[in-house]
Structures are given as structure tokens and as C-alpha cells.
Amino acid sequence: MNSGPLLDIRNLSTHYVSAQGSRVVRAVDDVSLRIDAGETLGIVGESGSGKSTLALSILRVLPPAARIVAGRMLFEGEDLVEKSDAEMRQVRGKRIAMILQDPMASLNPLFTIGNQVAEPIQVHEGAKRRSAWQRARELLRAVRIPAPETRVGQYPHEMSGGMRQRIVGAIGISCEPRLLIADEPTTSLDLTIQAQYLKLLRDLQKEHGLALIFITHNLGIVAKMCDRLAVMYAGRIVEAGSVSTIFNAPAHPYTEALLNSIPRMSEGRERLTAIDGQPPDLSALPPGCAFAARCPRAMPRCGVEAPPEFHTGEDHRARCWLAAPDAAQSPLALPAEGRRGFA
């Protein structure tokens, strides 16, 4: 394999365009990300920030109204944006797999478990039914389903929620993908099952050398699961870096606000800190920074000029004027106002 990153997304933009073309929703806007083999990347952001659209863009399974309008996605050196639909089908499920938001509903009620776990193996590897079922049994064992010999012949409604969840995990890894995208896989689970499932995902990741993209709005899970973190706001990545860097020293006020809004038992705070205001309408973004209206440390410049990405350290970048190094502060559109803000 080549030594570069497993997946390298460069300046990806995915827009939803209305039928008349009059409204354009910038769900994913100029996103650059990379993930190395075996690594776990967390993507956090509030609802509607473009996390799921980003995930669907990677697999190119967007709804009809959405278009990838710009950017490249280099997966093991191949640009996924350029691939034909038939070529993408070879990627989906085989090299990049995905676990959906509601794994409980991800199983077809009419087919046995074995049938559904074996399906991707049959589709992608042309395996015979017998050997695919044999693999299915092994996979069920791998996700710690007791008595897989009998379970393969059963139907989804005969399983508990946690088991169905693990079966969906088994389907995800059935063709030994290099990258697994998990889109909020634990939101529909209670806490104990959630913890079990996360542990299982981590174990599977270690055993199979999977890279994992973990989409969530739960920063607690990110702290436990992820090596690196990307924070999305209004379709853009506002901050990205290693989990420890960002948790210890967030560079973007939005990340800071997110971290402050985690409930903690120890601090004796009575009220949770919420972020004031609403996320902006993605079809009518303000000219400046999208977070400016809600930002406690907004400067006049923020309302006029959108900040580019600044590198604030090794593998740590943020889209915020506060993170701008001195050198980047000189070419201002509105120099006077901007400087005043910084002083």
C-alpha cells in the first residue's frame, strides 16, 4: 500500500440544489480531511451541520437533490469523485463500509440473519452460499453473538436490540473494509449497551486494522474513541486536530462552547451552558464567519470576512481569526476595523 493517508478529502463541497436551482444549500463546504489507516477520526457538530452529508458524500450515496460540486476524495490514491457508479459499487461495502444512524432498523425483517450478513460477501466476492454462510457464522462470533450456529437461521425480530446492533456491525466488517464510517451508531441505544458496542467497535478496529470515521454529537464518546477530531459547523470544518489538543486547548470559540456544554457531575454547576442562538440557514450564509452571530468573542471583522484555515500547531487547524498568526493578520479587507478588534 502507499504510505499516504488512507482517505484524503480535499476541498470537498456538496450542495443541495432545489428543483428550480434558486436555492442552494451548502451542506458541505470546502471540507478538507484526512484519515490514516487504523486511525479513528471523530466528526462532531450539531444537527444540520453537514456531518451526515459528508459521510454520504464519501460513499457517493447522496439523495438526488445533492451534488458534489467541487473537491477530490483520494481513497488509497484513487479519486472517488471521478469513479463511475459501477466502480463505486465495488467500493461500497467492500473497501468502505458504513453503519447507519439507526442500526435497529437496518435489518430486513423478512430475511434471516445469516442471509443478510452473507449478502455483501456474496455480492462483492462472488462467494458461494455455503462459504458465505460459514463466514457469516464466524462474523457473528467475532461480534460476540452467542450460539451463532442457531442465530444465523433466525430473523431480526427474534434478536434483542443490542444483538441487532452487533449484527449490523458484523455486516459492516463482513468484507474486511479498510474504512468504516459509523454515523451516530449509538444514538438509539441505552447507555450500557452503548458502552458495550463502542468497546466492540474498538476491538474490531484493532483486530482488523480498520480506519474508523465516527460521526456523533457526543463529545464524551469522542474522548473515549477517537484519535483525532474534526468539528463541523454550518457545513465547514471549523477546527480539526488531535483529540487531546482540542480538548485541552480549543482554538475555535464554537469548540470551546461545545466542550462547555457537556454536563459534568463534579463541578457543581447548576445550569448547563447552552450556546445562544440558532445555527445559520445554510442556503443564506452570512458573508463572514458563520458562527459570528453566536460567538461571544466576535470581532467586527468576523461579520465581514470569513476566516480561512489557520494552522495553529502540528496537525491542528482552525477557521477563526482568533487563531490567526500575526503574519496572516496584515492582508485585511477592512484593516482598521479588524485591527481594532484584535487589540
Partner 1 sequence: MTIRADIATLATPTSRFAAIRRYRAGDYPVLPLLILGIITFLAIFAGQLAPHNPEVGVLADRFRPPFWLAGGSAKYLLGTDQLGRDVLSRLIFGARISMIVGFTAVIFAGAVGTVLGIVSGYLGGWVDQVIMRLTDTWLALPALTFAIFLAAIVGPSMWNIVIILGITYWTRYARVIRGEVLSLKEREFVRLAIVAGCSKRTIMLRHILPNVVNSAIVLGSLMLGVVIIAEATLSFLGVGVPPPQPAWGLMLADGKEGLMVGYWWLTVFPGGCIMLLVLSANLLGDWLRVKLDPQLRQL
Residues that bind partner 1 (CB under 8 A): 59, 61, 64, 89-94, 97-98, 100-111, 119-120, 123-124, 168, 171
Cα 132 to the center of its chain, rounded Å: 30
Which residue, 88 or 293, is less far from partner 1 as judged by CB? 88
Residue 268 beta carbon to partner 1: minimum distance, rounded to whole angstroms: 41
Which residue, 213 or 229, is less far from partner 1 as judged by CB? 213
Residue 17 beta carbon to partner 1: minimum distance, rounded to whole angstroms: 15
Residue 156 beta carbon to partner 1: minimum distance, rounded to whole angstroms: 9
Q: Say what the alpha-carbon torsion angle 215, 220, 223, 229 is, to the nearest 10 degrees.
A: 30
The secondary structure of residue 100, as a DSSP letter, is: -
Residue 101 beta carbon to partner 1: minimum distance, rounded to whole angstroms: 8
Cα 302 to the center of its chain, rounded Å: 27
Which residue, 21 or 325, is less far from partner 1 as judged by CB? 21
Cα 249 to the center of its chain, rounded Å: 22
Residue-wise over 86-109: b if at least 16 C-beta within 10 A, else e? eeeeebbbbbbbbbbbebbebbee
Residue 176 beta carbon to partner 1: minimum distance, rounded to whole angstroms: 13
Q: Which helix (H) or strand (E) holds 237?
A: strand 236-242
Which residue, 87 or 276, is less far from partner 1 as judged by CB? 87
Residue 201 beta carbon to partner 1: minimum distance, rounded to whole angstroms: 17
With 0-12 CB in 10 A as exposed, 13-18 as middle and 19+ as buried, what is 163?
buried
- Amino acid identity for residue 85 in this structure: D
d(CA 56, CA 235): 13
Residue 173 beta carbon to partner 1: minimum distance, rounded to whole angstroms: 12
Which residue, 109 or 146, is less far from partner 1 as judged by CB? 109
Residue 211 grid cell: 480506519
Cα 194 to the center of its chain, rounded Å: 18
Residue 59 beta carbon to partner 1: minimum distance, rounded to whole angstroms: 6
Which residue, 87 or 281, is less far from partner 1 as judged by CB? 87
**Do 282 and 234 contact (CB within 8 A), yes or no?**
yes
Strand partners, 68: 14
The secondary structure of residue 280, as a DSSP letter, is: P
CA proximity to 214, closest of 40, 91, 330: 40
CA proximity to 271, closest of 282, 281, 263, 280: 263
Which residue, 82 or 314, is less far from partner 1 as judged by CB? 82
Q: Which helix (H) or strand (E) holds 17?
A: strand 7-17
Residue 86 beta carbon to partner 1: minimum distance, rounded to whole angstroms: 8
Q: What length does the chain have?
A: 343
